[in-house]
A and B are shown apart, each in its own frame.
Chain A
Amino acid sequence: MTAPSVAERSAPDTDVPPILSVRELWKVFGPKAESVVGSSLSRKELKEQSGCVAAVRDVSFEVRRGEVFVVMGLSGSGKSTLVRCLTRLIEPTAGEILLDGEDVRKADERRLRELRRHRMAMVFQHFGLLPHRCVLDNVAFGLEIRGVAKQDRYARAREVVGLVGLNGFENSYPDQLSGGMQQRVGLARALAADPEVLLFDEPFSALDPLIRREMQNEVIRLHQEVGKTMIFITHDLSEALKLGDRILIMRDGEVVQVGTPDQVVGAPADDYVRDFVSDVPRSHVLTLRWVMRPPQPGEPLDGPELGPDVVIRDAVHAVLSAERPVRVTDGGQLLGVVTSAEILEVIAGKAEG
């Protein structure tokens, strides 16, 4: 099958300037880290030769305003390091990080604190709550350290506590809450400052599956309600596919592929990614665009009409019950046709690339 180009898939967004753009970012742990930048040795060879670990190597990507950008990779692939480099919780070794055009790496201490206080906030895997403060004080913490008056910060904190569904727990202490509730506090704390970008480092991996699903839905709801840009780290592919507008896949510190969920599943960049996505039910992710074919001569072209971005799973019923090939159209223009043959091929899972 033919892979549609990125431009085609996400045409509506491209004219908006990116809120965050990362260029050729490196983070090397170890002695003489600078000298390793630009090296093309593999991580293992580097470790043996110089004793350095290149946790992030030559990573470039752009995040658009309002999108949920997921970074995915196996344990040790450098995701946490990458996301911490964005606010310089870990100091990058080389590269550029532009937030709305401003180079984060050039910011001095003061400016950096401003950025952290107002523009980017982070949610952590292990919550990082202050055990000696009640929920309300935890949520208000960010506002407190930037000097917001008591009354105002409590007002704002109450508002956010309500937003994440923790009403009634304002005066509880973290150790009196379940894991899921604690992460809601973490989320509220990040939201309280009303930042432009929210960073999540595997926020739900410490939670059990049911709660995790609930929290994922919560993030989707919040995204719809407050419309923040989100950068979301995970090692869980289904989470990535569920939340991500676009997904960046990392391996050994390097970018392997950046694309929409259907691009990643439909056109994996290499065997690593292919392996990764092999268990995904393709019909849940791929859209009709991925399976349609040009109409054959003599084929009747008066069947039902569907859009190219309809997920196959949702089209199954319409296609299988139609007598004639289903036409895939975009703005009245015929892109191709889909019949039960193509659909069944995907569902049976034998079609590859």
Chain B
Amino acid sequence: MTALSATRGVAARLPARRYLIALALAVWAAGWALLRGHDTFALGGAELTPLHGALNEAMDAVDDSRNSNPLFLYFINYIRLFIDQAVTAVQALISQPALGRPVPVLGWLGVTGLATAVALLYGNRKVALLTAAGFLSFGALGLWQESMDTLALTLTAVALSLAVGIPLGIWAGLSDRFNRLVTPVLDFMQTMPTFVYLAPLTLFFLIGPASATVATMIYAIPPAIRITAHGIRQVSSDTLEAGTSLGATPAQALRHVRLPMAKQTIIVGVNQTIMAALSMATIAALIDAPGLGQTVLKALQTLDVGTAFNAGLAIVIMAVVLDRVTSAASRRVEVQRRAGRLRTTRGRRLEVAGVLGVAGVLAYLSYTYVWAAEFPVAANAGPYVRRAADAASQWVQDSLVAYTDAVKNLLTNQFLNRLEALLTGTPWWLVTIVAVVLALLVGSVRAALVTAAGLLLLVLLGLWQDSMVTLASTIVATVLVMLLGVVAGVWIGRSDRADTVLRPVLDAGQTMPAFVYLVPILGLFGATRFTAIIAAVVFAAPVAIKLVAEGIRGVSPTTVEAATSAGASTWQLISKVQLPMARSAVTLAASQGLIYVLSMVVVGGLVGAGALGYDVVAGFSQHQLRGKGLAAGLAIVVLGIVLDRVMRAATQRADVAAHGGPHHK
């Protein structure tokens, strides 16, 4: 707060802030022209700095102590064993040969039957049909086993995440103290780009299911905790007080009042947890997690669009099925309540028994007979899908090449290359000074300090040049995200029609695992930096659009009416009333968009983005590059923190200027 008021003082004394910003940019441009190529810390792909070497050695030391260090012996190794066992058990049940047989305990018929039964009992008939069709399509795409591996990993991670997340969420809902304690931790877990912690995890849990599960849990637990806590907190204090006045103990109040009233919200949390887990379980292919992610990853690395599309399709289907079933389950709570008791308890029991009975028979068949265990080869349509996708991609590339190249070249030459040249060509100290000054001018003293520390850290990490390349892509992608976000967000926020049409698309977009986006874009643009940027934009745009649309919708109708009656045109209405009033939503969209873009940096590394993303990916596969990969992961985090801080400070300053006080939401 003192920092803020200090800068406000500075700003007051220097009224021409705008000119100062222009001046700083001019100094930068001049510096670039004069000092191009000096002090830029260029570092080749396989080159290492002493720090990277030291990191390598440190990682080797950790590896060596795996069987001697007590922390490993008595703690981490047990966790690893436990998780490995859990995943293996589920795999034995549905995906991997088990009990000395060539097939898992349950074959396709049994798994499909059980999944459908669950969908029917917790959801409704429609999602049950969807579930059956979805599971059959895994077989039909020729990916039954891979799909079941992904499902096994996802379900294990979800079970563990909920076992940890729901109790912690309840605790955070009940105790302000604990809530204050976990909130920053969760913030950190959620803003950390997902790929960054994969490599360090393998150090502790080795490559394989345990690391993959832990990584998935890190990603999936925060929504479980947050949403549960939110559900517990939002229980009306009137109702709670009524409970207390009747003499309820705290435990009774939790059991009879808070939990039932938070039930629906908690199921929404389960849904979010499942979607996060699926997304991460596919990404964990990078550290050798089994399943569909592997198939996509291998195909991406060989630029085999057909195979990647086939497996990507299976991931999408799984995401849709899981999302629909859990959404239906949460709505069911509400529907049941509204309709009063739909059926008597006896009726429900009969239904449950019947459905489970049928599923049980199917399961038994799939345990006993080969035809019900192994998906019939004759029904495998995978090759056709692959070939069709290949052909389509080829056709699109051939016939659209003029347009895609035009877009690609325009963006690459006009913006990306120039920004990149400016960032990478100027001496590091000049970039740092200019960045700090800009952070001070648009943000606050604190933002300037964070910027200084962050950029120096990038130098120390030995990844200055790579960081600047990634920064250029990130900035371009974020700007594109915000353009899309504002245009589409305003449209959706203003038109109910656009909302009904586009919202499902956005929802679907948000539930898709990050990998999936790469496939069609790779098909369109080939393996370049640009593909990575577009993938990041596609990944980040839905959240930005939705946030902007919420903000526009949140503008009070009376204000809009008042402006309309004063004769404002549509354009004036948008630019003078709705967007300014939705400003906090727009800035939130920008910072969320940025986080999403950054989290795609590593994925971009898979398809030719180079720089930090490539460093991280190379660190997974090449032993001597592990240290550098770790440093690159850190560099991504540092970039994220710096950008986020500056953006927040800038918003705060704008709010102060507009309202004379920080904006409360």
Chain A: residues with CB nearer than 8 A to chain B? Answer: 87, 89, 113-118, 121-122, 124-134, 141-142, 144-146, 171-173, 175-176, 186, 189, 193
Chain B: residues with CB nearer than 8 A to chain A? Answer: 236, 238-249, 252, 256-257, 260-261, 263, 337-338, 340-341
- Cβ-defined contact, A121 with B261, below 8 A: no
Q: Bound state CA distance, A87 and B246, in angstroms?
A: 10
- Cβ-defined contact, A116 with B244, below 8 A: yes
- Cβ-defined contact, A145 with B248, below 8 A: yes
Nearest B residue to A120, CB-CB: B245
Please name all residues of chain B whose beta carbon is closer than 8 Å to the beta carbon of A145 when the two chains form the complex. Answer: 243, 246-249, 252, 256
Q: How would you classify the secondary structure of chain B's contact residues: helix, strand, loop or mixed?
A: helix
Return 30 A-B CB contacts under 8 Å, by A number: A89-B245, A114-B247, A116-B246, A117-B246, A122-B245, A124-B241, A127-B238, A127-B242, A128-B238, A128-B241, A129-B242, A130-B239, A130-B256, A130-B257, A131-B337, A132-B260, A132-B263, A134-B340, A141-B243, A141-B246, A141-B256, A142-B247, A145-B246, A145-B247, A145-B252, A145-B256, A171-B341, A172-B340, A173-B340, A189-B242
- Cβ-defined contact, B337 with A117, below 8 A: no
Per CB-CB distance, the 3 closest pairs between chain A and chain B, nearest first, are A128-B242, A117-B247, A116-B247
Q: Bound state CA distance, A125 and B245, in angstroms?
A: 14
Q: Bound state CA distance, A209 and B461, in angstroms?
A: 73
Q: Bound state CA distance, A127 and B256, in angstroms?
A: 17
Q: Bound state CA distance, A173 and B333, in angstroms?
A: 14
Q: Bound state CA distance, A42 and B247, in angstroms?
A: 35
Apart from A89-B241, A145-B246, list 13 A-B contacts with CB within 8 A: A89-B245, A116-B245, A116-B247, A122-B245, A124-B241, A124-B242, A127-B238, A127-B242, A129-B242, A132-B337, A141-B246, A141-B256, A175-B338
- Cβ-defined contact, A131 with B246, below 8 A: no
Q: Bound state CA distance, A121 and B244, in angstroms?
A: 10
Cβ distance B235 to chain A, nearest Cβ, rounded Å: 10
- Cβ-defined contact, B247 with A113, below 8 A: yes
Q: Bound state CA distance, A186 and B242, in angstroms?
A: 9
Cβ distance A82 to chain B, nearest Cβ, rounded Å: 15
Nearest A residue to B245, CB-CB: A122
Point out which of B241, B244, B247 has the most chain A C-beta atoms below 10 A from its C-beta: B247
Please name all residues of chain A whose beta carbon is closer than 8 Å to the beta carbon of B245 when the two chains form the complex. Answer: 87, 89, 116, 121-122, 124
- A121-B257 CB under 8 A given contacts A127-B238, A130-B239: no
Please name all residues of chain B whose beta carbon is closer than 8 Å to the beta carbon of A129 when the two chains form the complex. Answer: 239, 242
Please name all residues of chain A whose beta carbon is closer than 8 Å to the beta carbon of B256 when the two chains form the complex. Answer: 130, 141, 144-145
- Cβ-defined contact, A189 with B260, below 8 A: no
Please name all residues of chain A whose beta carbon is closer than 8 Å to the beta carbon of B341 when the two chains form the complex. Answer: 134, 171
- Cβ-defined contact, A121 with B337, below 8 A: no
Q: Bound state CA distance, A128 and B237, in angstroms?
A: 8
Checking A121, A126, A134, A176 against B246 with a beta-carbon cut-off of 8 angstroms, the contacting residue is: A121
Cβ distance B258 to chain A, nearest Cβ, rounded Å: 11
Please name all residues of chain A whose beta carbon is closer than 8 Å to the beta carbon of B257 when the two chains form the complex. Answer: 130
Please name all residues of chain A whose beta carbon is closer than 8 Å to the beta carbon of B248 when the two chains form the complex. Answer: 145
- Cβ-defined contact, A146 with B247, below 8 A: yes
Checking A118, A173, A186, A193 against B337 with a beta-carbon cut-off of 8 angstroms, the contacting residue is: A173
- Cβ-defined contact, B249 with A130, below 8 A: no
Q: Bound state CA distance, A130 and B263, in angstroms?
A: 13
Cβ distance A136 to chain B, nearest Cβ, rounded Å: 11
Please name all residues of chain B whose beta carbon is closer than 8 Å to the beta carbon of A126 when the two chains form the complex. Answer: 236, 238
Please name all residues of chain B whose beta carbon is closer than 8 Å to the beta carbon of A124 when the two chains form the complex. Answer: 238, 241-242, 245
- Cβ-defined contact, B261 with A132, below 8 A: yes
